[in-house]
Structure 1
């Protein structure tokens, strides 16, 4: 049931043995985030919930990268980018732009969406399908452009 958490634990052990300090540091951050959510909510996270935690970590890092680049702190942005690479190892295969566009068109048609007012319905339906596989902020922008005509 907790295949993803087990894989992360095994990778942590391997990183310790091999001396991969950067990867080990990121994996420890992942484990801490998972444990924090489990303690806060008094539950055991399943793979789907772990993916939500990982997705949130990637979002946070993307925002940090944006801010670091705006402040011309490229060194810090590169650290965040390296962390994203490690985190994404545990997320499902990312969707291509073509796959995202196709899913958006199909969902707009399925929901009968015709205007920007229907965006919430489309976004909610796609969020479940794309969670951890696409940057939902980018998906939102694409949905707006489709619905705007």
Structure 2
């Protein structure tokens, strides 16, 4: 992941794509911050799975920010957030299609021995751990709730 990120930053720099450069630098800074926190806690550097979690969190933050900007009539800032989301999504592996997502949800429900709606959180946590960045959590939540009714 780190090599892929470095290559993407080099390409963006060569193409003088300012939005992409700034977003990729933000990502590198977030990863470096997590590396420092891990080192201070005596843990290993950030793994590729953790990088995927960081990217997913960054997308979620930008979606919320874009909605807030739209609500306040700041459409240019909302568009900037959407452009950053697109850059981050380019770094993520391909998303699971609906059939694969449903199969993954069924498997997690069975493995966690979930019986009712009170177990949705446990299933969602397992899905987030197994499929960081490759699963639309909102859609998966709907599928899991449908399976547990």
Query: Which structure 1 residue ranges, 5 or more long, are not aligned?
Result: none
Is 1:107 the counterpart of 2:101? The answer is no
Moved more, 5-14 or 77-86: 5-14
- Seen in structure 2, the aligned counterparts of structure 1 residues 128 and 80 have a Cα distance that, compared at 3 Å, is same
Q: Supply the distance in 2 between the matched residues of 1:144 and 1:74 (Cα, whole angstroms).
A: 34
- Which residue in 2 is equivalent to 1:49? 50
CA positional deviation for 1:73: 2.2
Q: Supply the distance in 1 between the matched residues of 2:73 and 2:147 (Cα, whole angstroms).
A: 34
Give TM-score, length-normalised by structure 1: 0.84
- Seen in structure 2, the aligned counterparts of structure 1 residues 41 and 141 have a Cα distance that, compared at 3 Å, is same
Within the candidate set 5, 8, 32, 2:5 is matched to: 8
Give TM-score, length-normalised by structure 2: 0.84
Q: Supply the distance in 1 between the matched residues of 2:145 and 2:118 (Cα, whole angstroms).
A: 10
- Which residue in 2 is equivalent to 1:82? 83
Q: Supply the distance in 1 between the matched residues of 2:134 and 2:28 (Cα, whole angstroms).
A: 20
Moved more, 106-115 or 4-13: 106-115
Q: CA RMSD in A?
A: 1.9
- Contact kept, 8 Å, 2:66 with 2:78, in 1: the verdict is yes
Alignment size in residue pairs: 145
- Contact kept, 8 Å, 2:117 with 2:145, in 1: the verdict is yes
- Which residue in 2 is equivalent to 1:134? 135
CA positional deviation for 1:65: 1.6
Moved more, 105-114 or 57-66: 105-114
Within the candidate set 14, 32, 35, 1:35 is matched to: 32
Task: Indicate the SS of the match to 2:91.
Answer: coil
Moved more, 124-133 or 58-67: 124-133
Q: Supply the distance in 1 between the matched residues of 2:57 and 2:35 (Cα, whole angstroms).
A: 15
